Amino acid sequence: MTAAGVHQSAPGAAPAQAASPGQAWLRLAWLYLVSRRVPGALALLAGFGLLLWAALFWHWNVAGGAAAAMVIPLIVEAGAAAVIAVTTYGPFGEPERATGRWLPYLRLGTAVALTAAAVGALAGGATGGTLPEGFLAMFRNVAGITAVGLLSAAVLGGMLAWAGPMAYLVITETMLAGGRTSPWVWPTKPPHDLGAALCASLVFAVGAVAVTLRGARDSARQ
Amino acid sequence: MTATAAPVRAAPRQVPRVAPRNMTRLVWMELRRNTMPVVLPLIAVLFWFDSYRIAATMPPLWVERLYYILGQGHALVDFAPFVAGVAAWMGSRDGRRGMTDLVTATVRPRWEAQLATCAATVVCAVGSYLVVMAVTLGLLGRSIAWGGPPWWSVGAGAVGVAAFTSAGFALGAYFPGRFIAPVAAFGALFAMGTSSQIGFSSSGGWALILPTMSNGNFDKDAGLFYPFLPDVQIARVMFAAGVAVAAAGLLGLPASAGGPRLRRSAAVVTAAGVAAAVTAVALASTAQVGPNGAVIPALHDAASDRPILYTPVCGQAGIPVCVHPAYRSYLPDAQTALRPVVQELTGLPGAPVRATQVAAVFQAGPPPLTGPPTAAQLQVETIGSPPVLHLTLNAIALPGSFGMNTSGFIGQIRLQFVHAFVGAGGGSGNPAQQIVQAALLQDAGIPLAAQPNVLGQSPWALPSRGRGGGVAASYPRPISVAASRFAALPAAARHAWLAAHLAALRSGRVTLAQLP
């Protein structure tokens, strides 16, 4: 006997409860967030906020010029971006992509919500003292570096998505140490620089579109 | 026929050695499946941008070109976060996939399997570091005419990469999850940033163990007049190897790693690694900065102190000027710098008849503005009979390094000559010496207003009279007025005054009232 001809539940089985569309969507969103370890990511973002608070409160600093003054806030911002980037990869791969009609919306919503959470956590951390360059620069940096992480997730895969923000951080520090600036390396520009803000916004838009449409690249090495 | 009737098969004469071959196969398998190669192109690009590009613009001396890459540890700064992150990812593989129980139940002990993965990851990371360094040394060395690279520093960097890889792997194995890779990577970057901070501000002691610490061990004329002292690098190799071994040993401590005997072995390995690392820190803290660099008495080999023989390269600037062959390209600058000063001082008693380069020596910490002079401050001098000017070209920044240009370099050499001539010694000199020095420098082409800046880049900076201390931005008014008056004298009158008062000036017995 095979299951091919079975069209009804076994006798005595409990009938499945029909959920309302709202409840079903919430459950789907929750399952998606859990599969991406978003609760863990939120805890880590809160940890980065605490780290920033401690660094500002106890005046941890690296002696030197602009590169040194920015190094701790930049490590915290890039670290938060890296955490968001690694939430993009899912464990289900092709089956999820083939069946998940809402997947693009969930990806976009998660990326934007986590970016907002990171900005919030770091804004809370900034209350520990005076944040170099202020809130606007932190907002721009977090959004822009997160986008670099989203792009590297699309190109390198979710497992190495953190490498993008890390590489961007190294490039930024090198340029700051050399006294060079570029709007594409926005942390080297002052907070009110329009070109830097536009570049960060553009990269964020491209990163969001890439992760919405394609998601993180799957790799056999994962 | 029953089994009891079957003939007994003779035992093989030698039991095949299965375990080592299996371990090799395991490592080979892990090498082929390793994630590290994916990230290597990114590391190579970053290394080019952050380290090689800057090193290639430095003066063509090994100690200068590798100062940023090896002296301040930027090669390790570029590699460490990435290899730690990828190693954490590799170490967390079984736990992340929920396969820990499955692999624990296999015939091989879990520690052995993890060591195979860890070894493959370390081989990938260290191998790529060595390849990158080989290419870097090959490219940077094309325009370097003299000496060789500091191999101990290269080795210390390689073992440092192994330590970060091994530590990242252990972190991943203990805390598996998708976030462990970025946490390990950013943790490694944070550690290197902190290490840089300590390295910049410390002058010796235990901080010498840090790979970003160049003070007292990777500077001056190391590798030119005297060898790169290996003492500190040996301690760093010991420290990094200890960390790597301890991290590998930690993998074998959990109950799932293997039997009691294996776990005891892991505990011994961990303890040995920790002991090596602690011993290395203790050794580094005994280091003393000598003229050729930091010396660790327990590790020091007297053969490292032997000077390197060379044939100087000479030219003319009114007097013969001789430099080390590695500085051949700077001989024209030295001649340009010395010529006007030689013209001013020719014929005066004590004027040098020859200028020759001597090794720049190390000193602990920055040159003091007050108090007794250090050996490095006293190095530039006119000594002997007939007098010879000793120049220390690498005690100052060479053109193309640290913001120095040719004009500034020439100014520094002129200052060395005049400072030695007026006998100001290790400090900035008494007021009369400062006035004569300022006037002679002005006549040699350095305006009075620019001189405090030139002095500020030398070991004889003018101390500020302000409350904050530090370096003065201008001469005190009495000094600048008197110097202008002295410089305005006709050359013959100035020459005559110097001939009459030089001995008293040098011994510090000339008062301001005696100046013309």
The per-residue pLDDT for range B429-455, each reduced to its tens digit, is 788 888 899 999 988 888 888 888 888
A156–B contact, CB cutoff 8 A:
yes
Residues 3-42 of chain A with CB under 8 A from chain B are 37, 40-41
Cα distances (angstroms) measured from residue B356 to each of A186, B294, B398: 50, 26, 17
What is residue A66's predicted lDDT score, i.e. its pLDDT?
Answer: 62
Nearest to A33 by CA among A110, A117, A119, A112: A110
A219–B contact, CB cutoff 8 A:
yes
Better-scored residue on pLDDT, B270 or A36? B270
What is residue B11's predicted lDDT score, i.e. its pLDDT?
Answer: 57
> Which residue of B lies nearest to A168 if distances are taken between CA atoms?
B46
Average pLDDT over residues B118-138: 96
What are the DSSP E strand ranges found in B3-144? none
Better-scored residue on pLDDT, B472 or A57? A57
Q: What is the DSSP string of B408-443?
A: HHHHHHHHHHHHHHTT-TTSS--HHHHHHHHHHHHH
Residues in chain A: 222
Whether A160 sits inside 8 A of B179 (CB atoms) is: no
Residues ≥6 apart with Cβ < 8 Å to B341:
B414, B417, B418, B421, B440, B444
Whether the pLDDT of residue B470 is over 70: the answer is no
Please state, in angstroms and rounded to a whole number, the distance separating the CA atoms of residues B409 and B329: 13
Please state, in angstroms and rounded to a whole number, the distance separating the CA atoms of residues B115 and B90: 11
What is residue A206's predicted lDDT score, i.e. its pLDDT?
Answer: 95
Structure tokens at B122: 């370390």
**How many CB pairs (< 8 A) connect A and B?**
90
The contact set of B with A (CB < 8 A) is: 33-35, 38-39, 42, 45-46, 49-50, 54, 77-78, 81-82, 85-86, 89, 177-179, 181-183, 185-186, 189-190, 193-194, 196-197, 200-201
The tally of CA atoms less than 13 A away on the side-chain side of residue B154 is 18
What is residue B450's predicted lDDT score, i.e. its pLDDT?
Answer: 85
Nearest to B493 by CA among B503, B485, B482, B481: B485
What is residue B13's predicted lDDT score, i.e. its pLDDT?
Answer: 57
pLDDT tens string A162-199: 999 999 999 998 898 888 899 999 999 999 999 999 99
What is residue B378's predicted lDDT score, i.e. its pLDDT?
Answer: 45
User: Which pLDDT band, with edges at 50, 70 and 90, does B347 fall under?
Assistant: confident
Average pLDDT over residues B124-130: 96
Helices then strands, counting H and E runs in chain B, come out as: 19, 7
> Which residue of B lies nearest to A35 if distances are taken between CA atoms?
B178
- Which helix (H) or strand (E) element contains residue A165? helix A163-177
pLDDT tens string A56-113: 888 876 666 666 678 889 999 999 999 999 999 877 767 777 776 788 889 999 999 9
Whether the pLDDT of residue B159 is over 60: the answer is yes
Out of A89, A166, A174, whose CB is closest to B185? A166
Question: What's the 3-state SS for B443-506?
Answer: HCCCCHHHHHHHHHCCCCCCECCCCCCCECCCCCHHHHHHHHHHHHCCHHHHHHHHHHHHHHHH
B385 Rama sector, left if φ>0, alpha if ψ -120 to 50, beta otherwise: beta
Cα distances (angstroms) measured from residue B449 to each of A10, B110, B383, B452: 99, 72, 30, 7
Q: What percentage of chain B has pLDDT greater than the value 90?
A: 41
- Other Cβ atoms closer than 10 A to B405: 11
Whether the pLDDT of residue B265 is over 60: the answer is yes
What is residue B3's predicted lDDT score, i.e. its pLDDT?
Answer: 56
The tally of CA atoms less than 13 A away on the side-chain side of residue B6 is 5
User: Which pLDDT band, with edges at 50, 70 and 90, does B100 fall under?
Assistant: confident
What is residue B7's predicted lDDT score, i.e. its pLDDT?
Answer: 66
Nearest-CA distance from A138 to chain B in Å?
18
pLDDT tens string B480-513: 888 888 888 888 888 888 888 888 888 888 888 8
Whether A162 sits inside 8 A of B85 (CB atoms) is: yes
Is residue B495 exposed (0-12), middle (13-18) or buried (19+ Cβ within 10 Å)? middle
Whether A158 sits inside 8 A of B35 (CB atoms) is: no
Residues of B in contact with A68 (CB under 8 A): 197
Asked if B54 and B194 count as a contact pair (C-beta separation under 8 A), the reply is no
Better-scored residue on pLDDT, A219 or B83? B83
What is residue B368's predicted lDDT score, i.e. its pLDDT?
Answer: 45
| Chain B interface mutation, best of A51, A59, A160, highest count of B Cβ atoms under 10 Å | A160
- Which helix (H) or strand (E) element contains residue B320? strand B320-323
| Chain A interface mutation, best of B69, B89, B179, B212, highest count of A Cβ atoms under 10 Å | B179
Better-scored residue on pLDDT, B453 or B384? B453
Report for B53-67, B273-287, B374-388: range of highest mean pLDDT: B273-287
pLDDT tens string A9-35: 566 555 556 667 778 888 888 988 998
User: Which pLDDT band, with edges at 50, 70 and 90, does B388 fall under?
Assistant: confident
Whether the pLDDT of residue A132 is over 70: the answer is yes
**What was the ipTM of the complex prediction?**
0.84
Cα distances (angstroms) measured from residue B142 to each of B69, B73, B135, B222: 17, 22, 11, 19
> Which residue of B lies nearest to A164 if distances are taken between CA atoms?
B42
Distance of CA B298 to the CA centre of its chain: 21
- Other Cβ atoms closer than 10 A to B191: 16
What is residue B375's predicted lDDT score, i.e. its pLDDT?
Answer: 45
What is residue B101's predicted lDDT score, i.e. its pLDDT?
Answer: 79
Whether the pLDDT of residue B402 is over 90: the answer is no
Nearest-CA distance from B181 to chain A in Å?
8
Output the pTM of the full model: 0.85
3-state secondary structure of A216: coil
Whether A75 sits inside 8 A of B178 (CB atoms) is: no
What is residue B371's predicted lDDT score, i.e. its pLDDT?
Answer: 43
- Which helix (H) or strand (E) element contains residue A104? helix A103-125
Q: Is the peptide bond before B386 cis (omega within 30 degrees of 0)?
A: yes
Residues ≥6 apart with Cβ < 8 Å to A31:
none
> Which residue of B lies nearest to A159 if distances are taken between CA atoms?
B178
Report for B156-170, B186-200, B205-219: range of highest mean pLDDT: B156-170
Asked if B409 and B59 count as a contact pair (C-beta separation under 8 A), the reply is no
Please state, in angstroms and rounded to a whole number, the distance separating the CA atoms of residues A85 and A147: 8
What is residue A217's predicted lDDT score, i.e. its pLDDT?
Answer: 82
A92-101, B33-42, B44-53, B326-335: the lowest-pLDDT one: A92-101
Mean of the per-residue pLDDT values for chain B?
Answer: 86
Residues 92-151 of chain A with CB under 8 A from chain B are none
Please state, in angstroms and rounded to a whole number, the distance separating the CA atoms of residues B145 and B494: 43
